[in-house]
Structure 1
Amino acid sequence: MLKTRVITAIVLLAVLVPVTLFAPIGAFGALIAFVVVFAAWEWARLLKLTGAGPIVYAIVAALALVASTKLGVGFVAPRPLFEAAAIFWVLVGPFVLIRKPTLAEGGWRAFLLVAGIVTFAACWHALVAARIAGVAFVLSLLLVVWLADIGAYFAGKAFGKHKLAPAISPGKTWEGAIGGWLAVMIVAALAVLTRAFEPTLFYALLEHLGSIRAFIALTLLVAFSVVGDLFESMLKRQAGVKDSSGLLPGHGGVLDRIDALLPVLPLAMLLLG
């Protein structure tokens, strides 16, 4: 299992790193679109679409993504799309985690199929806009989620006692979540103090919002990375599966890798808008 995880990770990095660092924006956008379409396919499967349903949904997501470019790309970012995605995550995300409705039936399924199209399109636009802002910027944006996840894992292992959402993801703890938040804050402070690798999300937030509001903004981004993670965990639990798919051997599915990014990306773009 470990060998499979390592091999998959090496292959993914061999593709993602050169494209992110050196490829033209168009190639970067094409790669992210490829990822997003597969995530849409997994989203439909978790919502229990059967037969050709997930494939049709992925095609619709791809067409909607192309159509959404009419709203703007890159520096002319589609703010209404970010706002719609943010509303979903700020209002619907916590409601679902608290009330735990059955998501793959009736009105909830129809709503989430529509919301998924908006969410995935917003994810794509946010990453393209971040990449246009600079390699350091897009990497720092991704780093918020990566650090929150890694910090939560190690802090949870070392200090975790109080369950965060035992009915949804029994392994997550409040101590882990705080550890992830601390990891983000420490790296953000170091990045701002040293001014290394500018431009970064951290300095952009500080410059745009001031120190106190930048601190609050980063805290919100970390919190909603947890919301995104838990939301997908709830989808998987209700679907009766461990991973969103087996597309990435040893790592689960695409959605398993980007779940925490889905709320963070549009929210970050709005905070800087």
Structure 2
Amino acid sequence: MTKLRVITALVLAPLMIFGIFFLPLKQFAIFIAVIATLGAWEWANIAGYRKNWSRVLYAAVMFICLYLTARFLKVNEQYLIYFLAVGTLWWAVAFALVKQYPGGTELWHARPIRALLGLCVLIPMWVGFMHLKQQPHSSLLIVYLMLIIWGADTGAYFAGRKWGKAKLAPNVSPGKSWAGFWGGFATSLLVAVAFLGYINSQIQAVDSRFALSFLLITVITAVVSVLGDLVESMMKRHRGIKDSSQLLPGHGGVLDRIDSMASAVPVFAFCMLIFNWGLSA
């Protein structure tokens, strides 16, 4: 299993690096749309659509929704913030669902409702990525966002192993602990401080307002990234499956790799807008 995980990671990492650093906006949009569409194929199974044709149909609907979103935002850019606001609001609702699980499942037990929730997860992720891609130093911003997510995940793993007794959400993901949460939180803050130093020395002077906004955005994003993982775990537990699919040998499915990203990306992009924060060109 470890060998498979390593081989798969060695294939995926260069693909992600190439997509982030070398693809122009249009090709990058397609690249992220393909990832979201594969995630949609898996979400259909999580939603309860077991037949292959229904999963393919759901994935096709997702791709069409992404295309229509792209066309709409191209001529109505002022509505971008509303797409991101809806995505952020969904994660606030998701927090409530995770908190009361296994109660409250009657609200989202129906397959069409769970299918609709997949749109709320994946479309804002795509919109958030497109916003980041159009910013100055876009590749750096996307890499930083991934470092927040990976930092939170890695810090949680090691802190949880050493001190993880009190469970974070035992009914949803018994392996997650409060110690892991705080370990991941601290790791993300360390990444933020290091990144601030890099910005100050290589890109622009950092004042107190810039630093405070940046740290606040990081804190919010790190917390929400954990929620993305918990929501997918909750949906899989309700459906009675361990992995979203076996598309990525040793890693499970695409959703198992992007669940934290799906929550972090739109929230990070939304916070950039409402805090009027960004890097100078």
Calculate the TM-score normalised by the size of structure 2. Answer: 0.87
CA distance in 2, matches of 1:266, 1:243: 24
CA distance in 1, matches of 2:67, 2:3: 37
- Change in CA separation of 1:146 and 1:198 when aligned onto 2, cut-off 3 Å: farther
Instruction: Determine the structure 1 residue equivalent to 2:183.
Output: 179
Q: Does 1:145 align with 2:146?
A: no
- Change in CA separation of 1:70 and 1:7 when aligned onto 2, cut-off 3 Å: same
Give the conservation status (yes or no) of the 8 Å contact 1:74–1:128.
no
Instruction: Determine the structure 1 residue equivalent to 2:96.
Output: 95
Give the conservation status (yes or no) of the 8 Å contact 1:145–1:260.
yes
Give the conservation status (yes or no) of the 8 Å contact 1:44–1:54.
yes
CA distance in 2, matches of 1:6, 1:15: 15
Q: Deviations over 1:119-162 (max 9, x none)?
A: 31211121122123221111111211111111111111122121
Instruction: Determine the structure 2 residue equivalent to 1:125.
Output: 127
- Change in CA separation of 1:138 and 1:34 when aligned onto 2, cut-off 3 Å: same
Give the conservation status (yes or no) of the 8 Å contact 1:208–1:272.
no
What stretches of structure 1 of length at least 5 have no aligned partner? none
Percent identity, please: 32
Q: Does 1:267 align with 2:267?
A: yes
Instruction: Note the C-alpha offset of 1:187.
Output: 1.3
Aligned residue for 1:72, secondary structure, equals helix
Give the counterpart letter for 1:63 in structure 2: I
Q: Deviations over 1:225-244 (max 9, x none)?
A: 11111110011111111111
Q: Does 1:17 align with 2:17?
A: yes
CA distance in 2, matches of 1:230, 1:214: 25
Instruction: Determine the structure 2 residue equivalent to 1:55.
Output: 56
Instruction: Determine the structure 1 residue equivalent to 2:234.
Output: 234
Give the counterpart letter for 1:129 in structure 2: H
The CA RMSD measured in Å over matched residues stands at: 2.5
Give the conservation status (yes or no) of the 8 Å contact 2:217–2:272.
no
Instruction: Determine the structure 1 residue equivalent to 2:278.
Output: none
Instruction: Note the C-alpha offset of 1:73.
Output: 5.1
- Change in CA separation of 1:197 and 1:136 when aligned onto 2, cut-off 3 Å: farther
Give the counterpart letter for 1:146 in structure 2: W
Which has the larger displacement, 49-58 or 97-106?
A: 97-106
